[in-house]
Amino acid sequence: MAASLLSSSCSNPTAVLAMLVTSMMAAPAVVMASLHDDIELMFGGDHFAFHTGGDGVETLALRLDKDHGAGFRSKESYLFARYDIDLKLVANDSAGTVTTVYLTPDLVPPEEHDEIDMEFLGNVTGEPYTLHTNIFVNGVGNREQQFRLWFDPSKDFHTYSIEWNPKHIIMFIDGTPIRVYKNEASRGVPFPTLRRLRLDGSLWNADEWATQGGRVKTNWTQAPFYAYYRNFRVTPCTASCGEKGLDEAALRRPREDHLLYDYCEDQNRFKDNGLPKECTLD
């Protein structure tokens, strides 16, 4: 290609310039953002480290031991965006540990708190991870759905995403949708629309509830535990975000095969006041 462009440059330089511009426009723009520049420490500064591997990608390692874990947040907040980040979770006996990715605002009164959670609950060696999801609006959560991960998330990095726009919240694993929460505010269902949210991440001990309801405790002889984050990307919402239709078939497959718990199906839990309104809409 280069040789042919050079050979034709003397006879038709305008054509060569046009070809070069077209080639540059067709090539995808590759932007490697620095994770170090995009996030800031929340807690556990001595359990928080960056390194760059042989592939040139900067990775953040969070460490958990008996003293404490660690957490970070994005420096920027957004009112509607898609957040993507790659994680490799705690390996081997991870029971009692929780690795998180979630969206949350800056400090607000409890009754104004919004939050969109993806929490990865560790397990004993050989048993699968559970993904615990929840959505809080105006300080109220109780919208839990849980999934059994169908792969080993400690063997390699996988991409976890939260798409939040005026029409819906969608959670993805490696581009596959697993949960949708629609904006039905016009029908009386709470939906977060007022506060800008940051992406937070953390690794901490929650053995009072995380694994088998707290029956299996953290095995501290296996400490320290590590979780790894990299490739944090944010796509801010534009005027057209939310217009793309949801792939219902892609959503249905992981829910049919891997959904463990859905608050909308827990009649006993809500027997006194009935299921939340979003669970009963057509």
pLDDT at 57 over 60: yes
Contacts of 68 by beta carbon, 8 Å cutoff, 6+ apart: 43, 44, 47, 204
Q: Of the residues 76, 111, 112, 115, which is catalytic?
A: 115
As given in the structure block, the two tokens for residue 204 are 């901490």
Cross-strand pairs, 72? 41, 201
Domains and CATH numbers, the chain: 40-279 (2.60.120.200)
- Rounded distance between C-alpha atoms, residue 84 and residue 89, angstroms: 16
Active site residue 119: yes
- The residue annotated as part of the active site, out of 58, 119, 163, 278, is 119
Residue 114: partners with Cβ closer than 8 Å, 6 or more residues away: 103, 104, 105, 136, 137, 138, 192, 194, 195, 197
Q: What is the pLDDT of residue 16?
A: 35
Q: Where are the beta strands (DSSP E) in the chain?
A: 39-43, 48-52, 58-64, 70-74, 81-88, 97-104, 115-121, 130-136, 145-148, 158-164, 168-173, 176-182, 198-205, 225-236, 259-262
Tokens 């977060």 belong to 192
Rounded mean pLDDT of the chain? 89
Confidence of residue 33 (pLDDT cuts 50, 70, 90): low
Of 189, 226, 185, residue with least CA distance to 48: 226
pLDDT digits (tens, 9 = 90+) for 185-230: 999 999 999 999 999 999 999 999 999 999 999 999 999 999 999 9
**Do 162 and 171 contact (CB within 8 A), yes or no?**
yes
The answer to whether the pTM exceeds 0.85 is: yes
Is residue 20 scored above 70 in pLDDT?
no
What would the pLDDT profile of 104-123 be if each residue is shown by its tens digit?
999 899 999 999 999 999 99
Is it the case that residue 1 has pLDDT exceeding 80? no
Q: Evaluate if residue 130 carries a pLDDT over 80.
A: yes
| 8-state DSSP, 95 | T
Encode pLDDT of 241-271 as tens digits.
Answer: 888 888 899 999 999 999 999 999 999 999 9
Q: How far is CA 184 from the centre of its chain?
A: 23
Checking DSSP bridges between strand 198-205 and strand 225-236, what pairing results, if any?
Answer: unpaired
The pLDDT assigned to 109 comes to 92
| pLDDT average, residue stretch 165-194 | 97
pLDDT higher than threshold 80 for residue 7: no
pLDDT of residue 27: 36
The whole-number pLDDT of residue 282 equals 75
Handedness of CA 58, 62, 63, 68 (dihedral sign): positive
